[in-house]
Amino acid sequence: MSSVIELEDRYCAHNYHPLPVVLTRGEGVFVWDENGKKYLDMMSAYSAVSHGHANPRLVQVLKDQAETLSIVSRAFYTDKLGPFLQRVCELTGQDMALPMNTGAEAVETAVKAARKWGYEVKGIEKDKAEIIACTGNFHGRTTTIIAFSDEPEYQKGFGPFPAGFRIVQYGDAEALEKMITPNTAAFLVEPIQGEGGIVMPPRGYLKKCQEICRKHNVLLIADEIQTGLGRTGSLLACDHEDVVPDGLILGKALGGGILPVSMFLAKREVMEVFIPGTHGSTFGGNPLAAAVGLEALNILVEDKLPERSKELGDYLLGKLHEIDSPLIQSISGCGLFIGIAIDPALGSARIICEVLMDRGLLSKETHETVVRLAPPLVITREQIDWALGLISEVLQEMDKMRLAS
């Protein structure tokens, strides 16, 4: 075992189960380990590195801003935050935004906004506001957020949990409408579930949910931390159904794979429930993050990364469906956001990821059953072809080994 791995295992809490590789450098779609071995990154840090590793434009902006002004807190105005928020609001069709750092912080912000809107605008009785989330959801790891998870492992040993959340079957719009009460403030949903295994809801689901929410005066809040900013082949996954949610949560790729940058965006009547003293973040919206975030958005638009994701994602999905392997239970996805579900009776997604790693391709399993493919959006067709050949080869070899045993 690498001494670096041993050191991390000794001093770092074991809250992750990393693949046994030590990465030291990245460029574009590639990363290198401590021994100089090169890998194709088909993970892109859970969609955070959509622009590619060490994107030159982002690195230059980072350097320039770091040499000028990095952080002064929101106690003062800066020249970088306004242009950044204007750009992201105009691109997403939202009125206002509240910048944070991590995705979980942005989700927490959305929860607070929904509850306060419920009391001050909708007129819900004090401390009775409810937020509906979905089965299989993943919105983060804070105690509030895991309170509305239905994954036992996320909750075990961390209670008691705050009340005010209800869980509805993902993909079932009729069930959502039946669950809504006069106390329902918001419906929080991922347009495509990432950690759940790249789960696609039925076509038209999000549009129907929007209609239901409007009918009952309930906020539709879309968590696009993973699916947003080009990952699914459009700027937002909501765009596939022409849905503009009442609230939108962004993160990961917003920081260009360089910094943690997130935000909650919403229509004006929702965001105006925040007044000085009701919410804050020392680092949220700092000049360094705002400069990098603005450049990340500019690159997405100028380099047409959403369009690239759609074209190459369609190609990758089509080619994956041509692979004939009994290990594959199903393939799902949209754009460059794809999951290969492995039949648990025949194989392990973790083992497949480990073998792929040995051959020079990095991915990561989800719930031991799904191999995730979400490369940087700057990947080329030739690089995808190489990955496809390797995936097919590994699946065939593993199936032969299974039959031989």
Q: What positions carry a catalytic annotation?
A: 138, 223, 252
**Considering only CA atoms, which of 31, 36, 34 is closest in space to residue 6?**
34
**Considering only CA atoms, which of 103, 66, 98, 111 is closest in space to residue 285?**
98
- Cis peptide upstream of residue 245 (ω within 30 degrees of 0): no
CA distance linking residue 33 with residue 23, whole number of Å: 4
Q: In this structure, which amino acid lies at residue 295?
A: E
Query: For residue 375, how far is the Cα from the chain centroid?
Result: 13
Contact of 263 with 99, CB cutoff 8 Å: yes
CA distance linking residue 381 with residue 388, whole number of Å: 10
CA distance linking residue 286 with residue 191, whole number of Å: 29
Burial (0-12, 13-18, 19+ Cβ within 10 Å), 183: middle
Burial (0-12, 13-18, 19+ Cβ within 10 Å), 20: exposed
